[in-house]
Amino acid sequence: ESVVNRIAAGEVIQRPVSAVKELVENSLDAGSTSINVVVKDGGLKLIQVSDDGHGIRCEDLPILCERHTTSKLSAFEDLQSIKSMGFRGEALASMTYVAHVTVTTITNGQLHGYKVSYRDGVMEHEPQAIAAVKGTRITIENLFYNMIARRKTLQNSVDDYPKIVDLLCRFAIHHKNVSFSCRKHGAASADVHSVATSSRLDAIRSVYGVSVAQNLIKIEASDANPYSSVFEMDGYISDSKYSAKKTTMVLFINERLVECTALKRAIEIIYAATLPKASKPFIYMSIILPPEHVDVNVHPTKREVSLLNQEVVIEKIQSTIELKLRNLSE
Ligand code: ADP
Ligand code: MG
């Protein structure tokens, strides 16, 4: 049974960066305003995510890492929206089958916190009382220690640290009211260091730099379709003064970080057609759609999604961008 669990867990957590994504999403779901990540050996030795969220109650700790344990399923949540967010209650459990997991947490109003470690879905000992300030810290050590082939492959390729930094940059600009940091274990300075702000442009500036932020224009679209609920899009796209060899597209759909290749291509095409002298674009975009319009068509842990009425949505976004860019160049 444990081999089956391990294989299943290896599917949910495919690389260090997938573990970081799950942990950061949990911290965001816990209402955190500050999230700090520390990584050692590209995440294979250590991933530590600390937040100041609402914490985990002591009585929930024994089952925290059992599969399908989630505090986020309400009776009315439809199957579709569960699907659009990937597995439910599987992430932490999965990590305990392929790594050593330690949780330190304190809930509001408690005098002390608790520390507990897990292996293969179960607690290794009773929660131990410890001093703690606020929130939760989850430590993942020796990821894939029991999956020799996976570990070898990851050790022999470029490590995940740049991917982790890129992931946190994306979260930082979408969740502008949350401060994020990411650094290598033992490093004096952070590689991502965002300060909470109410301005999206400030968030982009603090993460991607002035040269990106000063060359952006705001884009917005909404569309009340008589047959379905509302579509809303807002974001930023670079103008002709921006310069980059590769497209950067930071896309959130229904508050989840995703990728949509068809949409990205469509934007690249309209961008090149409207600003023929410009380089590849930088795009930040947040889209809100009815959950049943978002389809995670590949694999629940993959970020790629497709949309129902994709052509309609894409055309709307294309024409919005075209109009904005044309007005600009006139
Ligand atoms: P899911 O996020 O789908 O519920 P997870 O396995 O990722 O499943 O997490 C299981 C549960 O553990 C969550 O539902 C939440 O109650 C709790 N949890 C995990 N991380 C945190 C955190 N950083 N702060 C508060 N609660 C957490
Ligand atoms: Mg989760």
69 ligand 1 Cβ < 6 A = yes
Give the position, in ligand 1's atom list, of the atom nearest the Cα of 25: 2
pLDDT in tens, 96-139: 999 999 999 999 989 999 999 999 999 999 999 999 989 999 99
Residue nearest to atom 13 of ligand 1 (CA): 70
Question: ipTM value of the model?
Answer: 0.99
pLDDT in tens, 235-292: 999 999 999 999 999 999 989 899 999 999 999 999 999 999 999 999 999 999 887 7
Number of helices (H) and strands (E), helices first, in the chain?
Answer: 10, 16
- Report the distance separating Cα 300 and Cα 22, nearest Å: 12
Environment class of residue 216 by beta-carbon count within 10 Å: exposed (0-12), middle (13-18) or buried (19+)? buried
* Ligand 2 (single-atom ion) residues, CB below 5 Å: 26, 91
Q: Is the pLDDT of residue 87 over 90?
A: no
Check residues 216 and 231 and name the one with the higher pLDDT.
216
Give the position, in ligand 1's atom list, of the atom nearest the Cα of 27: 23
123 ligand 1 Cβ < 6 A = no
Q: Using DSSP bridges, classify how beta strands 294-295 and 306-307 pair: parallel, antiparallel or unpaired.
A: antiparallel
Owner of token pair 């952006």: 216
User: Model-level pTM?
Assistant: 0.93
Q: At residue 125, what are phi and psi to the nearest 5 degrees?
A: -160, 170
Mean predicted lDDT score pLDDT of the chain: 90
71 ligand 1 Cβ < 6 A = yes
Q: At residue 66, what are phi and psi to the nearest 5 degrees?
A: -80, 145
- Report the distance separating Cα 24 and Cα 82, nearest Å: 18
Check residues 11 and 61 and name the one with the higher pLDDT.
61
**3 Cα: distance to centroid of ligand 1 (angstroms):** 24
Instruction: Note the pLDDT of residue 75.
Output: 46
- Report the distance separating Cα 188 and Cα 43, nearest Å: 18
Six token digits for residue 43: 């995440």
Which one-letter amino acid corresponds to residue 213?
Answer: A
Environment class of residue 203 by beta-carbon count within 10 Å: exposed (0-12), middle (13-18) or buried (19+)? buried
Environment class of residue 197 by beta-carbon count within 10 Å: exposed (0-12), middle (13-18) or buried (19+)? middle
51 ligand 1 Cβ < 6 A = yes
Residue nearest to atom 23 of ligand 1 (CA): 27
Closest C-alpha to 38, from 54, 25, 23, 52: 23
- Report the distance separating Cα 123 and Cα 105, nearest Å: 14
From residue 18, alpha-carbon distances to 134, 153, 226, 227, 238 in Å are 25, 16, 38, 37, 29
pLDDT in tens, 131-150: 998 999 999 999 999 999 99
Q: Is the pLDDT of residue 219 over 90?
A: yes
